[in-house]
Amino acid sequence: MINIRNVAIIAHVDHGKTTLVDALLRQSKTHLNKEQAEQEFIMDSNELERERGITIFSKNASVLWRGTKINIIDTPGHADFGGEVERVLTMADGALLLIDAKEGPMPQTRFVLKKALERELKIIVVVNKIDKPDARINYVLDKTLDLFLELGADDNTADFPIIYSSGKEGKAGLDADLAKMTDISTIFEEILKHIPAPTGDPSQPLQMLATSLSRDNFKGRIATGRIYNGSVKQNSDVVRISRDGVAQKFRLTALMTFEGLGRVEIQEATVGDIVAIAGIPDITIGETIADPITPIALPVLAIEEPTVKMAFSVNNSPFAGQEGEFKTSRQIRERLYKELETDMALRVEDLPNGDWLVFGRGELHLAIVIERMRREGYEFQVSRPQVIIKVVNGKKLAPFERVFIEIPQDFSGVVMQKMGMRKGVLEDMTTDDRVERGFVTVYLQFIIPTGSLFGYRSEFITDTKGLGLISTSFFKYDEDSGDALKREHGSLVAHESGVTTLYGLVNTQDRGELFIGPATQVYKGQVVGQNSRSDDLRLNVCKVKQLSNMRSKGEGTIEHFNTPRVMELDDALEYVGEDELVEVTPKNVRIRKIILDEADERRKRSQGLV
């Protein structure tokens, strides 16, 4: 068996994980193609990941260092993609825990570290971004030790090796002095020294667990996973053991291992290596690939339950079918069920009326699914996100989140007030008043019902003028006291279908904030803005100025038109009310009333149907 080390990289969103992996790949002289060599954030290869600046899908890469193959497994740092994290850690024997030298351990650090400790992985702590002017290394290390002890680490695990690094500079060392560092090789040396080689017996029957799936136009479905026992050869017969325990025989059409960022075909792979196989057309995540003579199943992967649900339906607005390529219920249903093959934390349920309930780990998780479908040409509509309520011993239990907030002190009053209105309970509050930053930073920690947090992120950014940081992680299910928070403002709704005019919009902008500009096609019942009052208001935004031979006093003056607030998908999902839907097409995101006609809505309300 060649020397192998399987290492996961754990970090909070934006702590420099992907940048550090880039440095590891480049300095190990890993062969990159021309496009990759010129590109920053090599590991964030997905378009959505680039735009949002976060890692969503876990990826594999490998480097060769002094004769040892190091498989690097990049994990998402966001709790909403925890399904990816839990899966990926099954492939690793150890982990690099990356921590920002200024911020210290953050919520998703806690979430992923907890999962790693449950699997008894050997942890190496990497204090990254030590080149920051306001780095506070001792504070960060104290907080990290506190976190280890809080999560129940034993003495051996809590005595972790520490590496100091700057991913941006591509340097690392055992001393916090950046001037003494030359390159990133310290990280490789510490991996070889502290992280154990994979266990397993090459003479035993084959056992491999499929932990991620991808698709290839020529090879079909490709399953990636780690070999726990035995070995596997190109074109050999294997048995796939499904989640239900049903065994089926298949012949492998391809056997690949990771080299740099790419996959290369090999003839044979043995215990401990991470490989990709093709030839099993309907394999799903968490299933075992075993020896055909003595098939032995590995334990099925358990994933945490979803906390948020959303109804998906076929677009039935007046503009239905005009902008999307895939718009029928069959096409949408197929796409949702296809997503289940690769996203373990997602659930889909068919409703009697032909709609679908989609369950996920958070608002962001479902928003990413919607955005990916939209970019693929799908057209559909979704409801407001709702929390999943559990009934235990006759009591209704709702999910609660732990919220971590970092803000300049000037904004702490308004943030605490808003969190209080949303039933947030303050757990902890600390300040950092170092002079070099120019302002006092306040760190707040709240426990809040998940449902009360919907729609708060954009409000938080406005309240803190973009200087605040907010992050959440699932806490527990508990009794939720009181009613769900209602939206403060009503909607401005188009009174008739047509094309908006500047005249019509200028006359209505005093009523609230508009979401659309002039010369935009709208339909009756479409939400065109936010009312300054709490109720909905129907307006004629397509009103045309009457031409007459009468002269008016204000003729010739130009009316000022305020710039409308353009609603992106995330904004629309935060804004949408209980009686509204978000219409999603490849070209537009619109908000509409469920019942488009005002008279119909009034009649149904009087009959108690709404």
CATH number of the domain that residue 142 is part of: 3.40.50.300
What CA–CA distance (Å, rounded) separates 359 from 466? 30
514 CB-side CA count, 13 A: 24
Residue 454 and residue 498 in one domain: no
String of DSSP letters for 322-333: SS-SB-SHHHHH
Helix 329-342 crosses helix 363-375 at what angle (to 10 degrees)?
120
Instruction: Tell me the two tokens of residue 481.
Output: 């006291």
Contact (Cβ atoms closer than 8 angstroms) between residue 151 and residue 114:
yes
Within 13 A of 594's CA, how many CA atoms are on the CB side? 17
The answer on 527 and 456 residing in a single domain is: no
CATH assignment of the domain containing 398: 3.30.70.240
Is there a single domain that holds both residue 8 and residue 156?
A: yes
In a domain, 10, yes or no: yes
Looking at the domain assignment, is residue 200 inside a domain? Answer: no
Cα(507)–Cα(541) distance, rounded to whole angstroms?
8
State the Cα–Cα distance between residues 88 and 43, nearest whole angstrom: 15
Q: Are strands 94-100 and 4-11 parallel, antiparallel or unpaired?
A: parallel
Name residue 465's beta-bridge partners: none
Q: How far apart are CA 596 and CA 600, in angstroms?
A: 8
**Rounded to 5°, angle at Cα 153 from 148 and 156:** 110
Q: Are residues 277 and 223 located together in one domain of the fold? A: yes
The residue segments making up the domain with residue 422 are 390-479
Tell whether 43 is covered by a domain: yes
User: In the chain, what is the greatest distance between 2 CA atoms, to the nearest angstrom?
Assistant: 98
268 shares a domain with 183 = no
Are 149 and 137 in contact, with CB atoms under 8 Å apart?
no
Q: Among 290, 320, 352, which residue terminates a domain?
A: 290
pLDDT at position 610 is 62
Q: Give the per-residue pLDDT at 150.
A: 81
Same domain, 95 and 233: no
Strand bridging mode 537-539 / 491-494? parallel
| Residue 349: inside a domain | no
Sign of CA dihedral 243, 248, 253, 258: positive
One domain, residues 475 and 504: no
Tell which of 255, 290, 325 closes a domain.
290
CA angle in degrees (0–180, nearest 5) for 512-517-523: 85
Residue 52 pLDDT: 54
* Residue located via tokens 């809505």: 601
| Euclidean distance between CA atoms 355 and 357, whole angstroms | 7
Number of domains composing the chain: 4
Lookup result for tokens 């239900």: 244
Residue 375 falls inside a structural domain: no
Structure-block tokens of residue 38: 């010129």
The candidate with the shortest Cα–Cα distance to 448, out of 412, 474, 430, 470, is: 474
What does the DSSP 8-state code read for residue 304? Answer: P
CATH of the domain at 523: 2.40.50.250
Report whether 58 contacts 84 (CB < 8 A). yes
What secondary structure letter does DSSP report for 458? H
Q: What is the CB-side half-sphere exposure of residue 292 using CA atoms within 13 A?
A: 10
Domain boundary among 420, 455, 479: 479
Closest CA to 255 of 272, 283, 279: 279
Q: Helices 137-150 and 107-118: crossing angle, nearest 10°?
A: 50
* Beta carbons of 176 and 137 less than 8 angstroms apart: yes
- Answer yes or no: do 467 and 496 share one domain: no
Q: Are residues 29 and 174 in the same domain?
A: yes
State the Cα–Cα distance between residues 308 and 58, nearest whole angstrom. 22
Closest-CA residue to 385 (of 336, 454, 314) = 454
**Quick check: is 546 in a domain?**
yes
Q: Is the pTM above the cut of 0.85?
A: no
Residue 450 lies in a domain: yes
- Between strands 390-392 and 395-408, the pairing is antiparallel
What is residue 90's predicted lDDT score, i.e. its pLDDT? Answer: 82
Q: Which residue bears the tokens 């080390």? A: 5
Residue 9 lies in a domain: yes
- Residues 54, 158, single domain; the answer is yes
CA distance 237 to 252: 6
* Residue 259, strand partner residues: 262
Q: What is the CATH number of the domain that holds 285?
A: 2.40.30.10
Residues (pLDDT < 50) of the chain are 1, 31-45, 55-57, 435-436
Residue 28: both structure tokens together = 């190990």
C-alpha 318/C-alpha 323 separation (Å) is: 12
| pLDDT score of 198 | 87
137 and 56 co-located in one domain:
yes
- Angle formed by the axes of helices 82-89 and 107-118, to 10°? 30
Residue pair 32/261 in contact (Cβ under 8 Å)? The answer is: yes
pLDDT at 550: 66
The confidence score (pLDDT) of residue 44 equals 45
C-alpha closest to that of 344 among 375, 371, 390, 305: 305
Tell me, rounded to whole angstroms, the distance of Cα 512 from its chain centroid: 32
Same structural domain, 170 and 247: no
